[in-house]
Amino acid sequence: MTDRTENQSTAVSFAVRRHAEPLGVPERTKLLTDPGFGRVFTDHMAVVRYTEGKGWHSAEITARKPLLLDPASAVLHYAQEIFEGLKAYRLGDGSLAMFRPDANARRFQQSAKRLAMPELPSEIFISSIRELVNIDRDWFPTVDGGSLYIRPFMFANEVFLGVKPASEYLYLVILSPVGGYFKGGAPAVSIWVSQHYTRAAPGGTGAAKCGGNYASSLVAQAEATKHGCDQVVFLDAVEHRWLEELGGMNVFLVFNDGTLQTPPLSGTILPGITRDSLITLARSEGLTVREEPYAIDQWRADANSGRLTEAFACGTAAVVTPIGRVASPDGEFKIGAGGPGQITSRLKQKLVDIQHGKAPDPHKWVYRIG
């Protein structure tokens, strides 16, 4: 019997093999003026291997290059894959910092557990990012509001078609300089209520950050686009009635009595770190935040009566995005004035200020990279 978390050295040190031909400065500078989202990548990547019985090994920072995968690699068939998403921000003094990477490390372990994968020690998760960001720090985008998007991920690469948890895994980190997620800042988005498709069912993988959840959400997102909406929102799988989340963002509602509400972490919702941070910030301001189920019919009624004044989606990539319009086959409704509301804007600003070192950080969320 092998215990996957036992006997593993957490003090993995990274061998650094610098890229022999990094991108030239003029080319890099050009890319960094308008990087968009997830299209531009830095020169290096972090790699750590896992082998059953041996644990985590062969950690290195190396040139970012295509991977060689055997066509029978388990991930290509049974989708044992998880990922994370966080950002490095530039602080006022020019240094770079990560936001709550310990929370991402913990969530990566939870996701691994659900997908029957080995849990990566937090120290390795955080040091892999620290080392990689340090070596590629010249890739920090020059565009206003830019950041380095950090994408850690892990997948099964055992060459075997049998259905079982794989015995070999690859953990990698890549970096993508990004501007704003939505072009032109964060205008209010329109969302489509998916009535046929669900994202996650009780007992399923909804609380894990795995690629499979995204694969199954794409057809619903395509339906939203077809109906002229920016994003899809999913309802619960049992009653098709309770608001859950967007394909990649959690949802909040703001009421005219100044209270907030967000669906509870019932196991079918991804526990967002932005969600958690906003709850903490709102409560520390004295605002009431309820983590309670909210029905789609109630949403329509509250929006029409004026009881609901604001709604927003949140996640690392886009931070906070106001929701201005909700559409479904039953018709549509607008929220508030259709733009960013006061409480939405204030909470967003508060979070962004902490992330960029412009406001005190009482919760010790900011990790300086150097």
Residue among 249 and 281 whose Cβ is closer to ligand PLP: 249
**Buried b / exposed e across 213-249, counting CB within 10 Å, b at 16+?**
beebbeebbebbeeeebbbbbbbbbeeeebbbbbbbb
**Residue 8 backbone phi and psi in degrees, to 5:** -105, 130
CB 87 within 8 A of CB 148: yes
CB 223 within 8 A of CB 217: no
User: Residue 82 — left, alpha, or beta (φ > 0 → left; ψ -120 to 50 → alpha)?
Assistant: beta
Question: Does position 272 bind ligand PLP by CB under 6 A?
Answer: yes
Query: What is d(CA 253, CA 81) in angstroms, rounded to the nearest whole number?
Result: 32
Residue 114: name the closest of 80, 147, 155, 143 by CA.
80
Amino acid identity of residue 342, one-letter, is: Q
Give the DSSP H or E segment for 211.
helix 211-226
Which one among 80, 194, 250, 344 touches ligand PLP, defined by CB under 6 A? 250
CB 52 within 8 A of CB 2: yes
Amino acid identity of residue 321, one-letter, is: T
Which one among 270, 323, 326, 335 touches ligand PLP, defined by CB under 6 A? 270
Q: Which stretch binds ligand PLP (CB under 6 A): 11-19, 242-250, 326-334, 356-364?
A: 242-250
Q: Interface mask (CB under 6 A) for ligand PLP, residues 199-238, using x and -?
A: ----------x-----------------------------
Which one among 35, 141, 248, 263 touches ligand PLP, defined by CB under 6 A? 248
Q: Give me Rg for the CA atoms of the chain.
A: 21
Residue among 32 and 210 whose Cβ is closer to ligand PLP: 210
Q: Which stretch binds ligand PLP (CB under 6 A): 58-66, 129-137, 139-147, 267-275?
A: 267-275
**Cβ at position 71, least distance to ligand PLP in Å:** 28
Residue among 8 and 198 whose Cβ is closer to ligand PLP: 198
**Cβ at position 227, least distance to ligand PLP in Å:** 21
Question: Does position 101 bind ligand PLP by CB under 6 A?
Answer: no
Residue among 83 and 333 whose Cβ is closer to ligand PLP: 83
Question: Does position 245 bind ligand PLP by CB under 6 A?
Answer: yes
Question: Does position 316 bind ligand PLP by CB under 6 A?
Answer: yes
Which one among 315, 322, 324, 341 touches ligand PLP, defined by CB under 6 A? 315
Size of the site for ligand PLP (CB under 6 A): 13
Question: Does position 85 bind ligand PLP by CB under 6 A?
Answer: yes
**Cβ at position 255, least distance to ligand PLP in Å:** 22
Residue among 30 and 363 whose Cβ is closer to ligand PLP: 363
Question: Does position 262 bind ligand PLP by CB under 6 A?
Answer: no
**Cβ at position 243, least distance to ligand PLP in Å:** 13
**Cβ at position 296, least distance to ligand PLP in Å:** 18
**Cβ at position 52, least distance to ligand PLP in Å:** 28
Binding site residues, ligand PLP, CB under 6 A: 85, 209, 245, 248-250, 270, 272-275, 315-316
